[in-house]
Each structure stands twice: as C-alpha cells, then as structure tokens.
Amino acid sequence: MMMFNRIWQARLLILDGQLQKAFPLVKQLIADAQLNGNTDTEINARFLMVGYENINPRMALEHCYSAYDAANRSGYSYLEIYILNNALAIAKRINDKDEMIKVYEKLDKSMSQDWEKSRKFMGDYVKYNAIQTDNLVLSKKATQITLWLIIISFLSIVIVLSIYLVMLRQKKKVTEQLAALDEATKMQVMAMEEAKYQAVREEQQRLGQDLHDGLSSSIAAIKYQLEVLIMDAESNELKSKLTKLRIETERAYTAARNKSHEWFVQADGQHEQSFEKQIKLLTEISLPDNRYTKHILIDDNSLAGVDMDTRISLLRIIQGAVTNIIKHAKAKCVNILIYEEENTLLLNISDDGIGLGKDRSAGLKSNIGLQSIFRRAKLLNGQAQINSNDKGTEIIVSIPLTLNG
C-alpha cells in the first residue's frame, strides 16, 4: 500500500512538471520492486519514466522495453501491447526505423500471444459453458430419474400392498369356505349317523314287537296250561313240581315281556334325506352360486344297497375333493355324479380348474387331500383314479357293490 501511494506521488509530481523530484522517487520504486519481486509495481514505475520522453526519448524508450520485459515475465499480454504501442509512438517520434521494426516485431509477437490466449480462453470458456450445460442437463435428468424412482417405488409399494391385501382377502375367503365345508360335512355325517342309529332303533322295535307277539304269547300259553294241570293233578308231589315249573315259566314270561317293552321304543320320526340332497346342502355353503356353477346328479337307487358307513366315506371323499378345488383349482364349474354300472358304484368329481401342473406325480404325492381320497377308496375295497391337465381335474372312485351291499 505504501508503494502504491509512492507511485501516485511520483505520478502527481510528473504531471506537475517536477521531474527532478520525481526521478529519484521513481528509481527508488524500481529498485524496491525488483528487490521484493513486485512486478506490478516495477511495471508502473518504469512506465512512469516514459514521462521523460520530452527530455530524453531514448531513455523513455528503454524504460518502455524494461516495462515490456516485466509485463512479459508476468504474462500480461494486454499490458505488453499497451506498452509497445507507447514505445512505437516514441520510435516514430524520433524517426528511428530500426526501433520501429523492433517494436513492430515485439508488438506482433505480443498480439499473437494475446490472440492465442484469447482464443484459448474462448475455447475454455465455451468448454466450460458446455460442461455447465451438460451438468445442468445431467442434473435435470438425475432429478427426473430420482422422481421416477420415487414414483416407481411408491407404485411398487402400493401394488405389493394391494396384492398382499387381495391375497389376504382371498385366503380369508378360502378359510371361510373350508370352515363352512367342514361344518356342513360334520352336519351331514351327524345326520347320516343319526339315520344309522334310527335304523338300529327300528330294528330293535321290530324285534321287541316280535318278542312280545311271539315268545311272550307262547310263554303265557304254557303258563296257563301249567295252571290247568296243577288244578287237575291228584298227587301233591306232582302239584309241587308243576307249581315250581309254573313259577319259572312266569319269571321267563316277565323277562321276555320287559325286554320286548325295552326294545319297543317309539321312533324319533326322522326320515333319511336323499344322498343327493345331502351333497347339495354340503356344496351350497362351501361353493357359493355367485362364484361356482355346480351340477350334481346322484342316483339314490344305486345307493339302495350301500350301508351307512360307505355313504359317510363317500361324503368324506367329496369333502376332500371340494377342499382341493377351493384351495388349489381356481375353478368356476364343479360336477359331482354318482351312479351304478355293472355292480360297481362310481363317484365322479370334475372341475375346470388349472389342474395339477406339469409334474403330476409330484402333485399327487404332495397333496394330502388327494392322498386321503386314495386311502378312503382303498378302505372301501375300491380304487381311485385322477385325470388332470390344464383344462381341469377329474376324480373317479369305483366301489364294488358286491362287497359293500
């Protein structure tokens, strides 16, 4: 700052014409600038010496060259051109062609360097602007990509959550269907077992009636005959024996009469429903009409000679097949058919679902419901067959009537 003030002080002295006072001050500034390596101060101080051109143009020209050298070392091309233009004016003034040529050469070199620097600067500036533009574009793209990623992530979360809720709802529906199917099956089995017990009670009633009408009547007749014989017998010993026989006969009569009354119990009045109605009741709850089309056809005449245990097993087989349809088949149509053919009871259950897949054998082994169907069919001395493809699944259970009639 002090050197800057001294430069202005020297400049003011030169402008005021006090060259003698300014000269030592300027020389000291040049010496101090060279000592401190302050090129800017040296350039300014040497250029102040150009003010001496009216007194000594040659000295002024030398100071221009010195200022030019300092500017050249600092790389100030624009200062070099400015200083050389002043040097050229002084050379023209003293009409020194050699100096003019020398100044022109230096000026041409400086202008070329300045132009090269300007061209390089413009190139760098253009590149910088291009990079800035690219960075701006990339920033916008990155912002857009980030926004899209956020949107996609949000949509993915919504979709996954929706799928989860749908699956949860579907699972709940399947669970409700299976629970309804299990409950309906239990009710049907209870009804069939009740029908079985009703048949036993009716048989007991018949036996009681036969016991009352047959054996009790015969014993009563024997008792009456013994009483007549006792009255007609003359020997006391014979009367005593006949009396003992009458007492035992009366005991037998009482026991037979009591047993006949025990067996002869009034029936509950329940009548067994047709098997077809029972199956329809079973499927109406578990396979609602708004989701499934059902075709059920059961020939009750074919079940006339089939005992109740076999009917319960058939009901369990149908329950297992319907459970498999609800859980895996994704079917819309279910058909159940029971009929007789060549002393064989046939149960056919089919659907239009997705089937067991390509690996049918693995599907059969891993499906507990289907394995249960095979076991129940075997226990009935029958067999089960499963046909499956991508158009649906068909289960055929065949039971020989000669063994189950």
List pLDDT tens digits, range 382-399: 999 999 888 899 999 999
Residue 211 CA to residue 223 CA, distance in Å, equals 16
Residue 134 CA to residue 126 CA, distance in Å, equals 12
Amino acid at 7: I
At 265, the pLDDT band (50, 70, 90 cuts) reads very low
Nearest CA to 278 among 221, 340, 195?
A: 195
Residue 198 CA to residue 188 CA, distance in Å, equals 15
In this structure, CATH architecture of domain 275-404:
2-Layer Sandwich (3.30)
pLDDT tens, 321-333?
A: 888 888 888 899 9
Nearest CA to 231 among 217, 218, 243, 221?
A: 243
Q: For a pLDDT cut of 70, what percent of the chain falls above it?
A: 74
At 26, the pLDDT band (50, 70, 90 cuts) reads confident
Whole-structure pTM value: 0.42
Sheet strands (E) in 158-253: none
- The token duo for 5 is 């003030």
pLDDT tens, 300-314?
A: 788 877 887 888 888
Q: Say yes or no to pLDDT of 269 above 50.
A: no
Burial 242-270 (b: 16+ CB within 10 A, else e): beeebeebbeebeebbebbeebbeeeeee
Dihedral sign from CA coordinates of 54, 57, 59, 62: positive
Q: At what angle do helices 97-210 and 308-324 cross, to 10 degrees?
A: 170
pLDDT tens, 72-97?
A: 777 776 777 777 777 777 778 778 78
At 54, the pLDDT band (50, 70, 90 cuts) reads low
Q: Say yes or no to pLDDT of 149 above 70.
A: yes
- The token duo for 120 is 């390089």
Nearest CA to 292 among 263, 269, 326?
A: 326
At 347, the pLDDT band (50, 70, 90 cuts) reads very high
Compute φ and ψ for 387, nearest 5 degrees: -115, 130
Q: Given the DSSP bridges, would you call strands 383-389 and 392-400 parallel, antiparallel or unpaired?
A: antiparallel
At 204, the pLDDT band (50, 70, 90 cuts) reads low
Pick the CATH number of 192-263 from 1.10.10, 1.20.58, 1.10.3470, 1.25.40: 1.20.58
Statement: 2-95 belongs to CATH 1.20.272: no
pLDDT of residue 283: 82
Contact present, 294 and 276 (Cβ < 8 Å): no
Sheet strands (E) in 166-292: none
Domain boundaries, the chain: 2-95, 192-263, 275-404
Residue 64 CA to residue 207 CA, distance in Å, equals 151
Q: Say yes or no to pLDDT of 115 above 70.
A: no
The count of other CB atoms within 10 Å of the CB of residue 211 is 19
pLDDT of residue 395: 94
Q: Which residue has the tokens 């009750």?
A: 300
